Amino acid sequence: MYEQFLFGGRAVTSVDHGGRMILPAFVTEVLERRGSSRTIWLGVHERDSCLHAYDQSYHRTLFAEIERRRLSDEAAGRTAADHHSRLRRAFGFVEQSPIADDGAIILPPLLRRKAMIKRAALIVGVGGSFEIWSPRVAREATDPLVRELADLRGPATSPEEGMLAA
């Protein structure tokens, strides 16, 4: 399952006006090792202003994690509102994008707007999944490590590396 092969690394890639971007090798290699279908799930991140991306195997794990959190919330006497919000974000506010033979995906317009991604994207591996950031937004993130990753500007998968303000 997904736990055997985790996403680790970072890269900057260009995004064209239609939302097309090439996934970096550290992503495509993991997907290949996992035997994943040629589809990526994209959704808004639970806390940060970026996209959360993963394959089908992680999608099932995401549901299990949300259910674990629901049980914990119930045991603590919390209302179900947070649980339902997590479910909507994880399963309602997501879109699938097929992966082309060259590793390209299309970032859907609504999700691009939510994450403020324009001409470049910072891809960050986070274990079972990966994040897609606007480099500009990443430079302003509350997490100092995300800010540092945005400032490293490489390795880039395109000449857009110098256009990180996009």
Euclidean distance between CA atoms 27 and 2, whole angstroms: 13
0.95 exceeded by the pTM? no
Q: Residue 163: pLDDT above 60? A: no
DSSP secondary structure letter of residue 90: I
Task: Name the nearest CA neighbour of 146 among 164, 131, 158, 161.
Answer: 131
**What is d(CA 93, CA 135) in angstroms, rounded to the nearest whole number?**
22
Strands 94-98 and 120-125: unpaired
pLDDT tens by residue, 31-88: 999 887 799 999 999 889 999 999 988 878 888 888 888 888 888 888 878 877 878 7
pLDDT at position 161: 37
Cα–Cα distance for residue pair 42/148, rounded to 1 Å: 24
How far is 20 from 141, CA to CA, in rounded Å? 24
The average pLDDT across 76-102 equals: 85
Per-residue pLDDT band at 162 (split at 50, 70, 90):
very low
| The pLDDT of residue 2 | 55
